Amino acid sequence: MGDSPRYLVTGGAGFIGSNIVESLLRRGERIVVLDDFSTGRRDNLESALKARREGAPPPDIIEGDIRDTPTVRRAMHGVTHVLHQAALPSVQRSVDDPMASHQVNATGTLILLIAARDEGVRRFVYASSSSVYGDTPAMPKRETMTPQPLSPYAVSKLAGEYYCKIFHSLYGLETVSLRYFNVFGPRQDPHSQYAAVVPNFVKAVLAGGSPVVYGDGLQSRDFTYVDNAVEANLKGCEAPSSAAGRAYNVACGSRTTLIDLLHLLERITGSAIRPVHDKPRPGDVRHSLAAIDEARLHLGFSPGMGLEEGLRRTVAWFGE
């Protein structure tokens, strides 16, 4: 295999995946996208393609399922770095259909790891989730804490982490797991019944409606603008070998309640917001806050975009 990097982005038509693809295209990298377009969207990729550096090769786009071994092996051919974003997202969806979450998130990840090992991939970066921590009262969440997942989604993400860890220790495949904390931003789908809180709120506010708040709204999250997650993935590819075999929090290291999030949106949009409260959802975590020292130290990660500016960009994008 030559020295020239070739990146496989699974779920590259999805929200975070397409933002990663855009960043790689801007750098003129060679890219393969693997997506089954079940939750990813073709127009996300079309938007990302506008960033392609002149003279750089267009990405190879393979439509297929990460659970299909022949498809995965075809996508993995000649790849040096894997950015594995493909997943069946949503805690609530996993509560409704635990088997589907397991098959895509755990089994799919294992199939990719086997193919990456066999292809001699240099670095495998895996999108995990802060949901692995569960509802432990200790704040902030540190990577040394014992995971206590509360949902099938969280269990499936943790299984993927453990597979990454043992593929590093057993086979020498350099893996980095990134525990995303409430990533939001342009291209996040507000139309799914499982939509995340930020696109749900923004969609409701821009339409002049009332956002639905599950519970009292005092639950808090470490909201992370998508550019910060993209940066963590690229750093995960470039970090020294000593960083491999571990999981890292990807967040801003500050938390905001849902009520405060609505106040910020009021300030940004100039709209008076009257939320509607509904009962809390099963499997939801009460508070979430990350310690990001490990990612700073080992990956050189530093979140460049704060919550308010990220929200302004998100509102502008949804407004278009």
CATH number reported for the structural domain that contains residue 238 in this entry: 3.40.50.720
pLDDT digits (tens, 9 = 90+) for 125-140: 999 999 999 988 899 9
What CA–CA distances, in Å, run from 26 to 18, 21, 61?
A: 12, 9, 17
Predicted confidence at residue 320, as pLDDT, reads: 87
Predicted confidence at residue 129, as pLDDT, reads: 96
Burial of 135 (0-12, 13-18, 19+ CB in 10 A): middle
Predicted confidence at residue 19, as pLDDT, reads: 97
pLDDT digits (tens, 9 = 90+) for 141-196: 999 999 999 999 999 999 999 999 999 999 999 999 999 999 999 999 887 776 78
Gap between the Cα atoms of 149 and 129, Å rounded:
10
Would 197 be classed as within a structural domain?
A: no
What CA–CA distances, in Å, run from 53 to 49, 58, 126, 213?
A: 9, 9, 26, 42
- Note whether 261 and 267 are within 8 A (CB): no
Would 96 be classed as within a structural domain?
A: yes
Would 86 be classed as within a structural domain?
A: yes
Predicted confidence at residue 163, as pLDDT, reads: 98
pLDDT digits (tens, 9 = 90+) for 41-96: 999 999 999 999 999 899 999 999 999 999 999 999 999 999 999 999 888 899 99
Q: What is the mean pLDDT of residues 102-111?
A: 98
- Note whether 9 and 17 are within 8 A (CB): yes
- CA proximity to 157, closest of 83, 194, 104: 104
- CA proximity to 25, closest of 60, 61, 62, 50: 50
Report DSSP state, residue 77: T
Predicted confidence at residue 234, as pLDDT, reads: 98
Would 220 be classed as within a structural domain?
A: no
Gap between the Cα atoms of 253 and 281, Å rounded:
25
Range of the domain at 12: 6-185+225-252+291-304
Would 121 be classed as within a structural domain?
A: yes
Predicted confidence at residue 1, as pLDDT, reads: 43
Would 229 be classed as within a structural domain?
A: yes
Q: What is the mean pLDDT of residues 269-282?
A: 90
User: How many independent structural domains does the chain possess?
Assistant: 1
Report the number of secondary-structure helices (H) and strands (E) in the chain: 12, 13
Gap between the Cα atoms of 56 and 285, Å rounded:
43
Chain-wide mean pLDDT for the chain? 95
Would 51 be classed as within a structural domain?
A: yes
Would 316 be classed as within a structural domain?
A: no
